[in-house]
Amino acid sequence: MIIHSAKYFNGCASLDKCPKSDLPEFAFIGRSNVGKSSLINFLTQNNKLAMTSQNPGKTILINHFIINDKWFLVDLPGYGYAKRGKAEMARLKKMIYSYIEGRETLYNLFVLIDSNIPPQKIDLEFIQWLGEHGVPFSIIFTKTDKKSKSEVGKNIAKFNQVLTETWEELPQQFMASAVKKTGRDEILNHIGDILKATKS
Ligand code: GTP
Ligand code: MG
């Protein structure tokens, strides 16, 4: 999959405000600060496309970016950032969950997991919810540049061990570093494969 063009399309605060479009879309979700917006910039090779920040809670809208004028990459707000306050957290949660459940053109959701820490309950519960709702998803272990290969490997193995308790087959997985610029081809090829497989 080659990206020829990547443009900001729009940002919306609820599912009903999302673009009225039949174009396929691929969205990125995960805990605040896991690197969703950075990954979108890395995939599109445009560091100014999605807004990133050292502080969690940067992305607060459902942001659509149009790729090659044919499909969307979607940057979502992170989950689990408690400092926002209860009401704001609940509002964002509703926005994210209703988008994921209700967006008919969502071809695949990429769930980003920080490869530097052991399995987190919030991520495992979220993945469980996806399974219960039949959402097609893949996992991307992010920030693989921060720790040694063996530590990253251990965290991923532990994560998968927990997943195998509930999943017969593990979901498709990728590793990526927006800093070391690794994992891009694999993720883009996966998107390309899904687009090819679903072409009517
Ligand atoms: P929210 O929008 O707040 O939910 O966060 P996000 O998931 O979009 O994270 P964002 O892309 O804004 O990145 C958060 C921080 O992690 C920034 O300081 C990034 O520079 C850093 N970061 C992102 N990707 C990587 C990576 O691959 N390696 C390292 N070392 N840092 C990264
Ligand atoms: Mg973000």
Give residue 143 CA to ligand 1 midpoint distance, Å: 8
Ligand nearest to the CA of 110: 1
Neighbours of ion ligand 2 (CB under 5 A): 36-37, 58-59
Give residue 15 CA to ligand 1 midpoint distance, Å: 25
Identify the weakest region by mean pLDDT among 34-43, 85-94, 177-186: 85-94
Cβ atoms of 155 and 146 within 8 Å: the answer is: no
pLDDT tens per residue across span 51-80: 999 988 888 899 999 999 999 999 999 988
Q: Residue 175: CB partners within 8 Å, gap ≥ 6? A: 115, 140, 141, 144, 152, 156, 182, 183
Closest C-alpha to ligand 1, atom 22: 35
The rounded distance, in Å, linking the Cα atoms of 138 and 110 is: 5
The rounded distance, in Å, linking the Cα atoms of 9 and 7 is: 6
For a substitution probing ligand 1, which of 31, 33, 83, 111 has the most ligand atoms within 8 Å of its CB?
33
Q: Residue 38: which of 25, 27, 47, 28 has the closest Cα?
A: 47
Type and span of the H or E element at 33: none
Q: Which of ligand 1's atoms lies nearest the C-alpha of 180?
A: 27
Q: Is this structure's pTM higher than 0.85?
A: yes
Closest C-alpha to ligand 1, atom 24: 35
Give residue 58 CA to ligand 2 midpoint distance, Å: 5
- The crossing angle, in degrees rounded to 10, of helices 184-197 and 36-44 is 80
For a substitution probing ligand 1, which of 42, 47, 48, 53 has the most ligand atoms within 8 Å of its CB?
53
C-alpha dihedral (112, 163, 136, 35), degrees to nearest 10: 0
CA distances from 161 to 158, 166, 169, 199 (A): 5, 10, 11, 34
- The crossing angle, in degrees rounded to 10, of helices 149-164 and 121-132 is 40
Alpha helices in 6-103 (DSSP H): 36-44, 86-102
Residue with tokens 């174009």: 23
Higher confidence at residue 184 or residue 58? 184
Q: What is the largest CA-CA distance in the chain?
A: 45
pLDDT tens per residue across span 107-118: 999 999 999 999
Question: Which structure tokens are listed for 135?
Answer: 């959402």
The rounded distance, in Å, linking the Cα atoms of 123 and 141 is: 12
Residue with tokens 């997985």: 173
Strand partners, 182: 177
pLDDT tens per residue across span 132-165: 999 999 999 999 999 999 999 999 999 999 999 9
* Pocket lined around ligand 1, Cβ cut-off 6 Å: 32-38, 52-54, 56-59, 77-78, 142-143, 145-146, 177-179
